[in-house]
Amino acid sequence: MGISRNRLGLSLLVLALWTAITVIGGAISTGFDGSAPDPLGYGVHIAFVAAIVFLLGVSFICRWNDLGFNAPVSIRSLSVLWLPLVYIAFFCCVMLVFGVPAPGVTASILTNTLLIGISEEMMFRGILFKALRSRGSIRSTVLISSLLFGFVHLLNGFSTGLVSAIPQAIFTFCLGVLFIAVRIRTGSLYPVILLHASWDFCIFMLDASPGGQLWSVAELYILASVLPIYGLYLLRMSSTEPSKSSPG
């Protein structure tokens, strides 16, 4: 009962520890000056694996079985993914035109972006989402969780530099709105994990393209600026979570 009553405070503590594992561990692996090669293209990122194991352990101990590891409420609910999937299909077409990295690099990026999707979605749209929702409205839950999602990515400045981390954090906040909207509309973490992982995979693959970086960060953010607007549209159509859900 004590864990249940203090769920929000405990979830924030879990967030702090998860951040230390993910961000600081990642900074160590790349070098704090960002001089080491991008770890996503060179082997499995151990910090991501450790973060997932940590979250699974905490969830098991605390008996948080309502995080969204269940089937979507319906097949129809997956239709909310249509616009993000258009972007992903476009990115895939660009990759086919300009070329893809070597198979080893591709496999590493695929593995690491899947780990990122699992870890970040379990933390923000799973543990933190349910804790905030138990104490506040949908609106406050969306705002706070998305702000924290963006802030954590600001800490990437340890390895990439603050100049590049600030726009990344702002855009990540905006993407957080889309991800939580999908989480609410589908009632499941699985579609959000796959969407998140697919998005990151495309972005890192394009960055590692043999043709070089195809567009600037600013151009990419402008291109994808409609996604958070779409997320807000989805949220306007849903003030509560879908009624059909099962613990997982």
Domain ranges of the chain: 2-236
pLDDT per residue as tens digits for the range 136-173: 889 999 999 999 999 998 887 666 666 777 888 888 99
At residue 44, the pLDDT reads 85
On the question of pLDDT at 122 being above 90, the answer is yes
Report the length, in residues, of the chain: 248
CA–CA distances in Å: residue 30 to residues 5, 85, 156: 39, 31, 11
On the question of pLDDT at 199 being above 50, the answer is yes
Whose CA is closest to 234, among 192, 172, 194? 192
Q: What is the pTM of this model?
A: 0.89
Distance between CA 134 and CA 121 in Å, rounded? 18
pLDDT per residue as tens digits for the range 25-81: 666 655 544 444 455 777 888 899 999 999 999 999 999 999 999 999 999 999 999
- Residue 244 confidence class, pLDDT cut points 50, 70, 90: very low
At residue 34, the pLDDT reads 47
At residue 39, the pLDDT reads 59
Whose CA is closest to 172, among 142, 148, 139? 148
At residue 246, the pLDDT reads 40
Contact 87, 220 (CB under 8 A): no
